[in-house]
Amino acid sequence: MATLKEKSPEVTVTPPVSAGNGLKTQEMVVNMGPQHPSTHGVLRVQLTLDGEIVVSAVPHIGYLHRCFEKHCEAMNDYNKVVPYVDRMDYVAAMNNEHGYALAMERMMGIEVNDRVEHIRVIMAELQRIASHLLAVGTFGLDIGAFTPFLHCFIEREKILDIFEKASGARLLYNYIWIGGLMNDVPADFKKDTTDFIASFRPQIKELNDLLSHNKIFVDRTANVGVLPDKVAINYGVSGPSLRGSGVKWDLRRDDPYSIYDKFDFDVIVGEGKMGTLGDCWDRYIVRVWEMEESLKIIEQALDSMPDEGDVHESIPKKVRPPAGEIYCRTETPRGELGYYIISDKSTSPYRVKARAPSFVNLSVLPAISVGAMVADMVAIIGSVDIVLGEVDR
């Protein structure tokens, strides 16, 4: 009879090797995390080190697991799932809500009016900028540059102020609802957003001067953690991490949802300008220029946003989708976020499964970190840009 609790597998370390001068060398196993300043939350990476060279890296997850799926099933209301999707990728809550609302609307055949669509897109793109600012800022912090991190946070704060005015919250908004929005944007929303765009454009240049083209920064990130495009596709990597490898794939352009097909924007891909295609610098710079593209989308959306329209117009009284299932995917700042929702015609979802981009992107970590140094590990984890809330859900 099998024992109830299986014995945890022994950590295997190669036996000591003679270095030839009477000394013996041995590989060392180090736990990077869960309490480590650069694992972006509570990731634990089990590193086997030969000196400072990484022999193998095994990510261990689950430290932030909050039973997302079970919660959704037990909520007894599709609307009550929205605050839970906020908490998956907690630095890009608007994008998570957007995807969930879209999935539910497709399932129930709800059409929302143009004003709602525009506000949603503007919010989602603002959130994308905020999320990328956090990503590039903390990436700089991982490399040892403290100051750009705080400059990024100042800009991010301005976006959060806009969100706070609209939804009352700064991190987890519960703003995009099934069939509409929580409430309309405040009267000075257009002005606030235009002001932000005007003040933010020069900051991208400053960020490039201070960090992106800094010699030390380039040395630390170019040719490090190279992710070839084939490997990226095989692992299912998506988002800026995939585009950093030169694959032109963006769901906003390739599988347009909402009203993204109306807008004119470029899909930024890595070019291997500083080193090999698909290195950490490429993944980083894709995020920087995507912020510029998001600004373009926001400007166009602000111009074409209709002033009339009730944001509560198509919110259903009772959310009771027909029996069936749906998979709906959107492009979040981290990649393809897909919701697989099964309905059994009751008011409670039978299942809500999220295909989280961070989770899938993290799986590529062991493949690209062999042979790197400990300091490179930090750069690689930072450049893949994971949010542990989304990895573990």
For the bound state, the minimum distance from the C-beta of residue 375 to another protein, rounded and expressed in Å, comes to: 5
Give the one residue of 220, 243, 283, 287 binding another protein; rule: CB under 8 A. Answer: 220
- The answer to whether residue 140 forms part of the interface with another protein (CB under 8 A) is yes
For the bound state, the minimum distance from the C-beta of residue 376 to another protein, rounded and expressed in Å, comes to: 7
Spatial neighbors of 96 by CB under 8 A, at least 6 apart, are 85, 86, 88, 89, 332, 337
CA–CA distance, 141 with 146 (Å, rounded to integer): 5
- Other CB atoms within a 10 A radius of the CB of residue 54 amount to 23
Interaction mask 340-369, another protein, x per CB under 8 A: ------------------------------
CA–CA distance, 239 with 259 (Å, rounded to integer): 19
For the bound state, the minimum distance from the C-beta of residue 47 to another protein, rounded and expressed in Å, comes to: 10
Q: Which residue from 273, 262, 261, 259 is spatially nearest to 208, judged by alpha carbons?
A: 273
Q: Which residue from 101, 48, 40, 147 is spatially nearest to 328, judged by alpha carbons?
A: 101
- The answer to whether residue 38 forms part of the interface with another protein (CB under 8 A) is yes
For the bound state, the minimum distance from the C-beta of residue 181 to another protein, rounded and expressed in Å, comes to: 33
- The answer to whether residue 55 forms part of the interface with another protein (CB under 8 A) is no
Which DSSP category does 110 fall into? Answer: -
Give the binding range for another protein (CB under 8 A) out of 19-27, 104-112, 217-225, 345-353.
Answer: 217-225
CA–CA distance, 138 with 153 (Å, rounded to integer): 10
- The answer to whether residue 28 forms part of the interface with another protein (CB under 8 A) is yes
- Single-letter residue type at 166: A
Give the one residue of 141, 364, 365, 386 binding another protein; rule: CB under 8 A. Answer: 141
Contact 40, 382 (CB under 8 A): yes
Give the one residue of 4, 19, 109, 146 binding another protein; rule: CB under 8 A. Answer: 146
Spatial neighbors of 129 by CB under 8 A, at least 6 apart, are 155, 159, 200, 291, 294, 295
Which DSSP category does 351 fall into? Answer: E
- Of residues 34 and 256, the one with the C-beta less far from another protein: 34
- Of residues 326 and 373, the one with the C-beta less far from another protein: 373
Give the binding range for another protein (CB under 8 A) out of 60-68, 139-147, 159-167, 342-350.
Answer: 139-147
Give the one residue of 154, 171, 323, 370 binding another protein; rule: CB under 8 A. Answer: 154
Give the one residue of 9, 15, 22, 37 binding another protein; rule: CB under 8 A. Answer: 37
- Other CB atoms within a 10 A radius of the CB of residue 231 amount to 15
- The answer to whether residue 97 forms part of the interface with another protein (CB under 8 A) is no
For the bound state, the minimum distance from the C-beta of residue 49 to another protein, rounded and expressed in Å, comes to: 8
Contact 222, 280 (CB under 8 A): yes
CA–CA distance, 78 with 349 (Å, rounded to integer): 6
Binding to another protein, residues 114-133 (CB under 8 A): none
Give the one residue of 116, 130, 143, 274 binding another protein; rule: CB under 8 A. Answer: 143
Residue count at the site for another protein (CB under 8 A)? 30
Give the one residue of 119, 211, 237, 328 binding another protein; rule: CB under 8 A. Answer: 211
Give the one residue of 17, 216, 323, 370 binding another protein; rule: CB under 8 A. Answer: 216
Question: Taking the alpha carbons of 213, 219, 223, 226 in that order, is the dihedral positive or negative?
Answer: negative
Contact 272, 246 (CB under 8 A): yes
Could you identify the residue written with the tokens 């750009």? 148
List contacts with another protein (CB under 8 A). Answer: 28, 30, 36-38, 52, 140-147, 150-151, 154, 210-211, 214, 216-217, 219-220, 373-378
